[in-house]
Amino acid sequence: MSVATPVVVRQSGISDDLLALTTLTDVAYVDCHVLETPAATTRTAQQWARAIMEDVPAAVHERLLTGWGGLRLDLEQDAPNTVCGWRIAVDSPECVVLRANSELGFRGELVTEVLDRSVRFATFVTMSAPQGPEVWFPLVPKHTAVVRSLLEDAGRGVPAPVR
Q: What is the pLDDT of residues 113-152, one digit of tens each?
A: 999 999 999 999 999 999 999 999 999 999 999 999 999 9
Q: What is the pLDDT of residue 162?
A: 40
DSSP character at residue 161:
P
Q: What is the pLDDT of residue 157?
A: 82
- The gap from C-alpha 106 to its chain's centroid, in whole angstroms, comes to 17
Q: What is the topology classification, in CATH, of domain 26-156?
A: Alpha-D-Glucose-1,6-Bisphosphate; Chain A, domain 4 (3.30.530)
Residues 111 and 57: their CA atoms lie apart, in Å, by 22
Q: What is the pLDDT of residue 160?
A: 47
Question: For the CA atoms of 35, 47, 57, 3, what is the dihedral angle to 10 degrees?
Answer: -60
Question: Would the pTM of this model clear 0.85, i.e. be above it?
Answer: yes
Q: What is the pLDDT of residue 161?
A: 47
The domains of the chain are located at 26-156
Give the confidence band of 7 by pLDDT, cuts at 50, 70, 90: confident
Q: What is the pLDDT of residue 112?
A: 98
Rounded mean pLDDT, 65-92: 95
